[in-house]
Amino acid sequence: MTFDTNDLVLSLPLLFLTVAGIVLLMLDAFSRVVLVGRDHHLKLPAETSEAVAVPPPGSRNYLMPVTVLFLLATLAIIVWQAGSLPESTVLIYRGMLQVDRFGLLVAGVCVVAATFGVISAPSYMRAHRMEFGEFYALVVFSLCGMIILIQAADLVTVFLGIETMSLGAYVLTGSWRRSPRSSEAAMKYFLVGAFVSGLLVYGIALIYGVTETTSLHDIKRIAMSRGTAPLFYIGWMLLVVSFAFKLGVVPFHMWAPDTYEGAPTPVTGFMMSCIKVAGFAGLIRLLQGTLPMLARDPFTGWTFVLSWLAVLSMSVGNLAALKQDNVKRMLAYSSISHAGYLLVGVVALGTVGDAARGPLLFYLASYALTVVAAMGVVSWVGCDERGEERVRLSDWAGLGKREPMAALLMTVSLLSLGGFPPTAGFFGKFYLFQSALGDDKLLWLILIAIANSLVSVYYYLRVITAMYFREPAPHPATTPMQSSAMKLGVLVATLLVLAMGLCPSWLSSLCAAAKF
Amino acid sequence: MSMILPIVTFLPLVGALLCLALPREEEQLHRSVGIGTALVTFFASLFLLSGLEPAKMNHVVDLAWVESLGIRFQLGVDGISVWLVLLTTFLLPIVFLSTWSAITDKVREFVVATLILETGMLGAFLALDLFVFYVFWEVMLVPMYFIIGIWGGTERLKAAIKFVIYTMVGSLLMLVAILYLVVKAHQVTGQWSFALSTIQKLVLSKPEQIYLFLAFALAFCIKVPLFPLHTWLPLAHVEAPTAGSVILASVLLKFGPYGLIRFAIPLFPHAVETVAPWLAILAVIGVVYGSCVAYAQDDVKKLIAYSSVAHMGFVVLGLAMMNSRSVNGALYQCLAHGISTGGLFLCVGVLYERRHTRKMAEFGGLWQRMPVFAATLLIFTMASIGLPGLSGFVGEFLVILGTFSAKERAFEGMPAMFESARLLSAFAATGVVLGAVYMLWLFQRVMLGPLSNPQNRKLQDMTARETVVMLPMLAMAFWLGIFPNTFLQHIDPAVTQTLTAFKEKYSAGVAESGPRMLGDSVKAKVEEPAAPGGNP
């Protein structure tokens, strides 16, 4: 078995992140030993029996900056690699991973979004007394899984990536141990995830049975030359279904609202942005990269299937979001509807072709950044004396007066989610719809998407209305998180959202150039 | 390249950023910055008039924005937009001065929102690129939502959301229409462009034109507002603070007619021949209906809101008639309505600040206590009715005259559109009479009669500040009535030019087999088979 050292260089982002994760885990472990040894006399809250195992608050403060440094270094590696990438596609590790501009761009988006998620985490965890150092390592390991998924060139690596990514997310979801909701969320997420893994493996097995290969390139070649058997259809349909589960697409979305609501807010932001981005990248590689010839078949082509999933996802997500009084849950439903808009982009990939990939990537990036910024504000708003999160609309009343900065940033994020210029969300929608209109047959889908964005305006405005037009509740129950790092993170993320809306050229040309 | 247009457009934004940099507590400072910025913008915009060639775009700015999509930051001003721009910049200092004592809460936010709104309005009037137009059009929405929602009356939440949702319904469909046009143009020329001048050359089939026209017209007719899309207006007007009502009535409503004459009508001439008669009928219904409903109101602001529905009905009628007289009249009526209704809302604001009610039944006999105010209100009332010599007369007269004398065909070669134009003009003329009825009824109930309500006994007349607010408005009301040529000398050539371009595009026929560009029909026909199927 030969081993090409060039593979190591080409997979440097992934390797670096893996090492970073291990280092973070070690740092956490050693800081625990040292601190518990030195500070065992420290008085801890008596009410918690597990307090002995918890080091004093603040002892792990340095983990967040270290993680951020690691992530920024990864980003630098990705940028450097994108600059030195050869034009043709490079397969590494004997065809298991594929290094190309598309993968690097999406990985970069994930890393940026994860960075903003990590920045807002420490103060949130401190306020909820759930500090634990593995958080950072888990985020990084989950990111590794995402990069594997994004760069996968083989069904086995697709599976490996999805599982690595999800395992981290399961633990992170349940990491708020005192909250029954968090445990419930993790349980639901895990059970659905395990079920989905079964579907995924079964689908892979069927495809392997027909084509005798798991390599995406070989599958494409065989499907092109020999046509496809019915079992092959069932196989890829199972793959689409398992991706639909992971992405929270209606009717496979039942876990999503509870999981997104129950998970700690920084984790919710991480899942809503990064997992969605990585999952869509995997889906794009699978459908447009591997099965472009199956796109346009009437009734059995994937554009037909996905366009109906898109309609369902947009409509159900939006209608359910209308009724929510819980901001976090509302954003969870809105993320379901955004998965629908993104599916419109995937459908356009099937009918319009490569020209639609840039817009879809732009939308993914704009959505990821916006949702991380919004979730950052949800963390910022904080909790009441009992440690309950303040996520009810009534808690947000008068936020414009109490916390003008948080309210302003949330307003920008919500306007971006609703698609108002001059924000990233507007340009993303605009660009996506423009590319989809390249095929006249998609006009109906665009009109449904437009009707849905109209509905969504109503519930985004409800939050803005609560923040600015309502008087605050008489008792000042909210404890806003006072961490300047978090505030800075949310501010930078929001400024990026505005910058992407005002001068979208740089990102849109990057997206348009992101080829397989 | 002259940079006067970007300067005028973004000056208010600079003022808004300046306000954000100043400490929140300095309320007087914020007010001063607001007025100062608005005044500077007004004086800067006066330069637009010098050397203006009304029939073409002046001071054109053309900068790359999103190169790969062909989006260019294009601004330009012609005889149609110049007076609307000046109306905007003229009103904003007045609005700021009028709110000096009315808005005491969150002054900084108010100044910032209003200045951003001004940038949005100016940009939308000046944009020559459909993308830029859409962005500015949407940018107007959010500040207005805040102005109604924060400083509005008791039902302000409902009014603000209703305003946004109504506007969004139209504008999102317009966005789809814009995208459709651009994609079609790209299929023919192979180049992405959102420029109005490029899209203007695109020839489409008749059904396509009708659908696209309806998508554009819906957005604009909601803004006008045309009956039966007007139901957001009374609520928004009543709940908005005085400043919001003035901006809404005087400027925001004008985007309806402006959008129709700048975009919807020239782009889709074959849709106009089918849809225009219906627009005309709806407009006349709006005139009569708005007048009747206005008469039934007890709330002063609501009465004026419904009078807006009636007055703006004249505007749409004039545009739908498509002859130079009626279109001139419609655009003139836009300016006149901006001044007279803006003045009326300012008067209501004066009353409201003193009594905190707008019910007519609460007033009566105010003339005895407030003679200066009474004279002001009388002049605006007369201007609104359309008394010769005041602003309202010229526009309504031209519209009715244009409608009455409208030929069956707007020009040679068009099918007969208006068999019963004279009937329409007769109905529209009743609107003038009804207007006199409800406006005089308003004046009588508020100003004349005995001073029966004891709460009105101590009312003060207008202060010096309020007088300063009213004087320029009064001057403009007279100027518009006495020297219409000041304005028509610019509007008329631009209208003639627009109608010529319309005829040109109309006579180029419809596209039977796929879209083509005006002027190179032969070449386009050759390329035809490859274009629509291929991927961009």
Supply the DSSP symbol for B102: T
CA pair distance A132, B198, nearest whole angstrom: 60
Å between A353 CA and nearest CA of chain B: 7
- H or E segment at B58? strand B58-66
Interface of A with B in 467-496 (CB under 8 A): 468-469
Maximum alpha-carbon separation in chain B:
82
Q: Is beta strand B71-77 parallel, antiparallel or unpaired with respect to B58-66?
A: antiparallel
pLDDT in tens, A418-428: 988 889 999 99
pLDDT for the residue numbered B133: 93
When CB atoms are compared, the residue of B67, B145, B176 closest to A505 is B67
CB B268 within 8 A of CB B212: yes
Peptide bond into A422 cis (omega under 30): yes
Could you tell me whether strands B202-203 and B516-517 are parallel, antiparallel, or unpaired per DSSP bridges? antiparallel
Q: Are B142 and A412 in contact (CB under 8 A)?
A: no
User: Is the model's pLDDT at A37 over the cut of 60?
Assistant: no
Residues B452, B266: Cα–Cα separation, whole Å: 55
Cross-chain residue pair A465–B160, CB shorter than 8 Å: yes
Number of Cβ within 10 Å of residue A227's Cβ equals: 9
Amino acid residing at B103: I
Mutation target for A interface from B68, B112, B163: give the one with most A CBs within 10 A: B68
Candidate from B69, B161, B172 with C-beta closest to A465? B161
Q: Which residues of A touch B172 (CB under 8 A)?
A: 450, 453-454
Question: Could A421 and B161 be called an inter-chain contact, meaning their C-beta atoms sit closer than 8 Å?
Answer: no
In A, minimum Cα distance to B154 occurs at A469
Kindly write down the DSSP assignment for every residue of B273-329, as one continuous string: HHHHHHHHHHHHHHHHHHHHHHHT--BHHHHHHHHHHHHHHHHHHHHHH-SHHHHHH
Phi first, then psi: give them for residue A129, nearest 5 degrees. 50, 55
Which residue from B minimizes the CA distance to A412? B142
Q: Would you place residue A55 in the very low, low, confident or very high pLDDT band (cuts 50, 70, 90)? A: low
Question: Which residues are within 8 A (CB) of A20 and not within 5 positions of it... i.e. 6 or more apart?
Answer: A67, A70, A73, A74, A140
Cβ-in-10-Å burial (0-12, 13-18, 19+) of B285 comes to middle
Question: What is the model's pLDDT at position A226?
Answer: 76
Smallest Cβ distance to B172: which of A415, A431, A453?
Answer: A453
B contact test, residue of A415, A423, A434 with most B CBs within 10 A = A434
* Cβ–Cβ gap A508/B69 under 8 Å: yes
**Could you tell me which of B315, B316, B251, B267 has the C-alpha nearest to residue B117?**
B251
Q: How far apart are CA A219 and CA A221, in angstroms?
A: 5
A28 touches A134 (CB < 8 A): yes
Does the CB of B154 have a partner CB in chain A at under 8 Å?
A: no
Q: What pLDDT is recorded for position A56?
A: 57
Report the b/e string of A186-214 with b at 16+ CB within 10 A.
bbbbbebbeebbebbeebbebbeebbebb
- Cβ pair A454:B172 closer than 8 A: yes
B-chain CB neighbours of A349 within 8 Å are none
C-alpha distance from residue B178 to each of A430, A456, B102, B194, B247 (Å): 10, 21, 40, 8, 27
Instruction: Please give chain B's pLDDT, 536 residues, in tens.
Output: 688 888 999 999 999 998 888 888 888 888 888 899 999 999 999 888 888 888 888 888 888 888 888 888 999 999 899 999 999 999 999 999 888 888 888 888 889 999 999 999 999 999 999 999 999 999 999 899 999 988 888 888 888 888 998 998 889 999 999 999 998 888 888 888 888 888 888 888 888 899 999 999 999 999 888 888 888 998 888 888 888 899 999 999 999 999 999 998 888 988 888 888 888 889 999 999 999 999 988 888 899 999 999 999 999 999 988 888 889 999 999 999 999 999 999 999 888 888 888 888 888 888 888 888 889 999 999 999 888 888 888 888 898 888 888 776 666 666 666 677 788 888 888 888 898 999 998 898 888 888 888 887 888 888 888 888 899 999 999 999 899 888 899 899 999 999 888 888 888 877 777 777 776 544 444 444 444 443 43
Smallest CA–CA distance from B535 into chain A, residue: A352
Closest-CA distance of chain A to residue B71, Å: 10
CA angle B386/B387/B393 to nearest 5° reads 45
- Residue among B66, B164, B173 minimizing CB distance to A450: B173
Answer yes or no: do B183 and A505 touch at CB < 8 A.
no
What does the alpha-carbon distance between residue B483 and residue B479 come to, in Å, rounded to a whole number?
5
Probe site for chain A from B13, B69, B222 (most A CB atoms < 10 A): B69
DSSP type of residue B226? P
Phi, psi of B66 (to 5 degrees): -115, 95
Structure tokens that stand for B2 in this block:
């002259």
Give the pLDDT confidence score for residue A336 in this predicted structure.
Answer: 94
> Cβ of A296 under 8 Å from any chain B Cβ?
no
Contacts of A452 (CB under 8 A, 6+ apart): A314, A315, A318, A337, A340, A341
Mark out the alpha helices in A285-354 (DSSP H runs).
Answer: 302-322, 327-351
**How many Å from the N-terminal Cα to the C-terminal Cα in chain A?**
27
pLDDT of residue B367: 84
- Taking one residue from A and the other from B, the number of pairs with CB-CB distance under 8 angstroms is 82
Contact A469 B179 (CB under 8 A): no
Residues 6+ apart with CB under 8 A from A300: A233, A294
Measured distance CA(A177)–CA(B497) in Å, rounded: 72
CA distance B59 to B48: 8
Give how far A163 is from chain B: nearest CA, Å: 37
Q: Are the beta carbons of B179 and A421 separated by less than 8 Å? A: no
Alpha-carbon span B456 to B362, nearest angstrom: 8
Question: Of B66, B149, B182, which has the smallest distance from its Cβ to A468's Cβ?
Answer: B149
How close, in Å, is residue A431 to chain B by CA atoms?
Answer: 9
| CA-closest candidate to residue A78, choices A150, A155, A26, A163 | A150
Q: What's the mean pLDDT in A143-148?
A: 94
Q: What is the pLDDT of residue A311?
A: 94
Tokens in use for B359?
């019910």
pLDDT value of position A243: 94
Q: How is A419-483 classified by DSSP, letter by letter?
A: T-TTSHHHHHHHHHHHHHTTSGGGHHHHHHHHHHHHHHHHHHHHHHHHHHHSPPPSS---B----
Beta bridge partners of B202: B517
The 10s digit of each residue's pLDDT in B239-291 is 888 888 999 999 999 999 999 999 988 889 888 888 888 888 899 999 999 99
Nearest CA-CA distance, residue A82 and chain B, Å? 20
- Output the pLDDT for position A190: 93
Residue given tokens 């209906």 in the structure block: B289
Lowest-pLDDT range of A124-128, A296-300, A341-345, A440-444: A296-300
Is A42's pLDDT higher than 60?
no
**Option in B65, B68, B141 nearest A512 (CB):** B68
Q: What is the band of A59 on the pLDDT scale with cuts at 50, 70, 90?
A: low
Number of residues written out for chain A:
516
Contacts of A420 in chain B (CB under 8 A): 138, 141-142
Q: What is the mean pLDDT of residues A120-126?
A: 84
Contacts of B180 in chain A (CB under 8 A): 437, 443
Task: Write down the pLDDT at residue A481.
Answer: 66
Interface test with A, best of B129, B176, B184, B205 (most A CBs within 10 A): B176
Asked if B204 and B212 count as a contact pair (C-beta separation under 8 A), the reply is: yes
Cross-strand partners of A383: A389, A479
The strand pairing partners of A303, in sequence order, are none
> Per mean pLDDT, which of A226-230, A277-281, B385-389 is the most reliable?
A277-281
A505 touches chain B (CB under 8 A): yes
A438 vs B141, B173, B536: nearest CB: B536
Distance from the Cα of B60 to chain A's closest Cα (Å) equals 21
Chain A neighbors of B176, CB-CB under 8 A = 433, 437, 443, 446-447, 450
Any long-range contacts for B433-438 (C-beta under 8 Å, 24+ apart)? B434/B288, B434/B291, B434/B292, B434/B295, B434/B310, B435/B291, B435/B307, B435/B310, B435/B311, B435/B384, B435/B385, B435/B386, B436/B385, B437/B291, B437/B295, B438/B291, B438/B294, B438/B295, B438/B303, B438/B307
Maximum distance among all Cα pairs of chain A, rounded to whole angstroms: 73
Is A421 in the B-facing interface, judged by CB distances under 8 Å? yes
- What is the nearest CA distance from B207 to chain A, expressed in angstroms? 14
pTM score: 0.90
Average pLDDT over residues A118-125: 86
Q: What is the pLDDT of residue A360?
A: 92
Does A387 touch chain B if contact means CB atoms closer than 8 Å? no
Tell me the pLDDT band of A35, cut-offs 50, 70 and 90.
very low
Cα separation, A38 vs B445, in Å, equals 85
User: What is the rounded distance in angstroms from the CA atom of residue A246 to the CA atom of residue A249?
Assistant: 8
* A459 in B contact zone (CB under 8 Å): no
Tokens 């190591």 appear where? A8
> Token digits for A146?
């995402």
Query: Is B346 in contact with B91 (CB distance < 8 Å)?
Result: no
pLDDT over threshold 70, residue A50: no
On the CB side of B170, CA atoms within 13 Å amount to: 30
